[in-house]
Structure 1
Amino acid sequence: MPTNEQITRHHDSDPDENPWVNGPPPRETIAIVPYDPEWPGRYEALASDVRTALGDAVLDIEHVGSTSVEGLAAKDVIDIDLTVADPRDEDLYLPQLERLGYYLTVREPSWHEHRCLRLADPRANLHVFGPDCPETIRHRMFRDWLRAHPEDLALYEEAKRAAVPGGGHVMDYNRRKEKTIHEIYDRLFRAAGML
Structure 2
Amino acid sequence: MSRSRGPRRPDVTTVELVGGAEALELELHEHDERWAGTYLEHRARIRAALPAVGAGIEHIGSTSVPGLAAKPIVDIVVTVDDITAEEDHLDPLLAAGYELRVREPGHRLVRTPARDVHVHLYEHGDPAVDEYLLLRDHLRSDADDRALYENTKRALLSQRWDDTNDYADAKTDVILEIKERARKARGR
Q: Same fold (TM over 0.5)?
A: yes
Structure 1 residues 168-187: Cα deviation after superposition (integer angstroms, max 9, x where no partner): 21111112211111110111
Aligned ranges 1:28-177 → 2 under 5 Å: 28-109=24-105, 113-121=106-114, 123-164=116-157, 165-177=159-171
Match of 2:176 in 1: 182
Is the 8 Å Cα contact of residues 115 and 127 (structure 1) preserved in structure 2?
yes
Structure 2: which amino acid aligns with 1:168?
D
Is the 8 Å Cα contact of residues 166 and 173 (structure 1) preserved in structure 2?
no
CA RMSD across the alignment: 1.5
List gaps (5 residues or longer) in structure 1: 1-16
Is the 8 Å Cα contact of residues 30 and 170 (structure 1) preserved in structure 2?
no
Give the TM-score normalised by the residue count of structure 1. Answer: 0.85
Distance 2:170 2:115 in 1: 26
Distance 2:101 2:115 in 1: 16
Distance 1:63 1:51 in 2: 14
Give the TM-score normalised by the residue count of structure 2. Answer: 0.88
Is the 8 Å Cα contact of residues 19 and 107 (structure 1) preserved in structure 2?
yes
Structure 1 residues 40-71: Cα deviation after superposition (integer angstroms, max 9, x where no partner): 01100001011011102132100000000001
List gaps (5 residues or longer) in structure 2: 1-12
SS of equivalent residue, structure 1 residue 56: coil
Identity of aligned residues (%): 35
How many residues align? The count is 175
